[in-house]
């Protein structure tokens, strides 16, 4: 009898426990950022190519056989350094011939001048005809002119002799030689003997949408953006993803818009002491274009898209309940969006814990620190974390 009573009491107790309701889930905790006006540094990341600061294609100015090459391919050369020697014997012979012709013309001057002086005395006493006197004067003038012509011919011949030794027109790194000793080259030929490129300083040619540049200029004129212009700083990201350690300077933006692409070319200069940047290399450049003041910055991770593609955020409104806001963004600034409409200073934007939340759900806002939520905290869906 006592055993039966005890079993009945146990069954009643179990039934009472079964009828107890489960405790309500804890209020989910979300990380929020309280908005305030701030300033934002405006940057643009643009694709570009490296170009040499100076480029010179070396070509012969006289014709002949190459006797020797006087440089090593790929080395640094200085302006005026000899590069090739062309057979100079024909040009030395021309110079010698021009020198002899000049001497002959100079000798002819003495005879012509003496004859003109004698005829000048004789014409005074009518010993010779005036026509003969004038002819003698003309011959003397022609002899002097002939001296000038022969002197110019000698200078030309000596220039050709000097041109048989081809020198570097600029300082820089020289490329491969496309002609070898024994090859016949001609003056003004199409093919260059070699190419010299100065790369201790290089250009970076970038392309940017003309619409973006126009928008930036208008913001600068309106006073919404400070700085910018040709003093903008430029940073490079190389092909392997690393950042080039030296900052560059913006030189200019081209005044012509490419009608096919609607873009403009922007040129920047970079020091290249280690010759790490080579012509033709692909890079991405980050240009610091200016600073925009009194803007609202919202972390990019807090912004999502609705079914129509419009940017939206979740905020903590009255009574700590979730609200959805549709916003208008203008551009990015680092890891943030610049918001031009839809939010105001003081709004609390949910950055962490927003997954599976719906408008109207009560939440517990805590300042967002950028650290992951602690174990055991309520997940984003509003349900308590499973007990371990």
Nearest of 213, 199, 197, 202 to residue 254 by alpha carbon: 213
Mean pLDDT by 10 residues, the chain (388 residues): 51 51 73 86 84 95 95 94 95 93 81 68 68 70 81 93 95 94 93 95 88 68 54 82 89 79 85 93 84 85 88 88 88 84 89 83 85 41 36
Segments forming the whole domain that contains residue 143: 88-162
Can you give the pLDDT at residue 122? Answer: 67
Could you please report the per-residue DSSP string of 257-287? --TTT-EEEEEEEEE-TT--S-TT-EEEEEE
HSE, CB side, 13 Å, CA atoms: give it for residue 3: 0
Asked, for residue 23, whether it belongs to a domain, the answer is: no
Q: Answer yes or no: do 68 and 178 share one domain.
A: yes
Q: Which of 247, 264, 291 is the last residue of a domain?
A: 291
Can you give the pLDDT at residue 376? Answer: 34
Q: Which of 236, 258, 291 is the last residue of a domain?
A: 291
Can you give the pLDDT at residue 368? Answer: 87
**Is-contact 250 234, C-beta < 8 A?**
yes
The H or E element spanning position 2 is helix 2-19
The H or E element spanning position 165 is strand 165-167
Can you give the pLDDT at residue 382? Answer: 36
Can you give the pLDDT at residue 119? Answer: 63
**CATH number for the domain including 157?**
1.10.287.470
Q: Answer yes or no: do 77 and 172 share one domain.
A: yes
Q: Answer yes or no: do 259 and 242 share one domain.
A: yes
Asked, for residue 79, whether it belongs to a domain, the answer is: yes
pTM value is 0.65
| Distance from C-alpha of 380 to C-alpha of 181, rounded to nearest angstrom | 77
């Amino acid at each position: 009898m006592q055993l039966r009573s005890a079993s009945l009491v146990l069954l009643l107790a179990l039934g009472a426990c079964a009828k107890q309701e489960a405790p309500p889930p804890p209020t989910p905790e979300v990380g929020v950022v309280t908005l305030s006006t701030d300033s934002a540094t405006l940057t643009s990341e643009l694709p570009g190519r490296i170009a040499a600061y100076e480029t010179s294609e070396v070509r012969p100015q006289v014709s002949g056989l190459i006797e020797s090459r006087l440089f090593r391919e790929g080395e640094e050369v200085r302006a005026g350094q000899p590069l090739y020697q062309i057979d100079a014997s024909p040009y030395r012979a021309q110079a010698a011939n021009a020198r002899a012709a000049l001497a002959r013309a100079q000798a002819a001057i003495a005879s012509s001048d003496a004859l003109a002086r004698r005829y000048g005395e004789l014409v005074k006493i009518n010993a010779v005809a005036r026509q003969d006197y004038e002819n003698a004067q003309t011959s003397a003038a022609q002899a002097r002119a002939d001296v000038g012509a022969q002197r110019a011919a000698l200078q030309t011949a000596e220039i050709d002799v000097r041109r048989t030794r081809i020198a570097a027109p600029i300082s820089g790194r020289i490329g491969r030689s496309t002609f070898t000793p024994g090859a016949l080259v001609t003056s003004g030929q199409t093919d260059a003997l070699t190419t010299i490129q100065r790369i201790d300083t290089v250009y970076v040619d970038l392309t940017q949408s003309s619409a973006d540049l126009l928008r930036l200029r208008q913001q600068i004129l309106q006073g919404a953006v400070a700085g910018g212009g040709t003093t903008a700083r430029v940073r490079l990201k190389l092909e392997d993803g690393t950042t080039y350690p030296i900052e560059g300077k913006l030189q200019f933006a081209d005044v012509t818009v490419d009608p096919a692409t609607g873009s403009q070319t922007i040129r920047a200069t970079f020091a290249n002491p280690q010759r790490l940047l080579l012509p033709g290399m692909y890079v991405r450049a980050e240009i610091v274009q200016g600073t925009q003041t009194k803007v609202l910055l919202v972390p990019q991770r807090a912004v999502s898209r609705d079914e129509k593609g419009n940017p939206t955020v979740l905020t903590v409104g009255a009574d700590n309940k979730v609200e959805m806001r549709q916003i208008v963004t203008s551009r990015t600034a680092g890891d943030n969006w610049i918001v031009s409409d839809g939010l105001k200073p003081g709004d609390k934007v949910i950055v962490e814990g927003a997954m599976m939340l719906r408008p109207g759900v009560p939440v517990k806002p805590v300042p967002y620190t950028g650290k992951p939520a602690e174990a055991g905290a309520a997940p984003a869906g509003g349900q308590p974390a499973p007990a371990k």
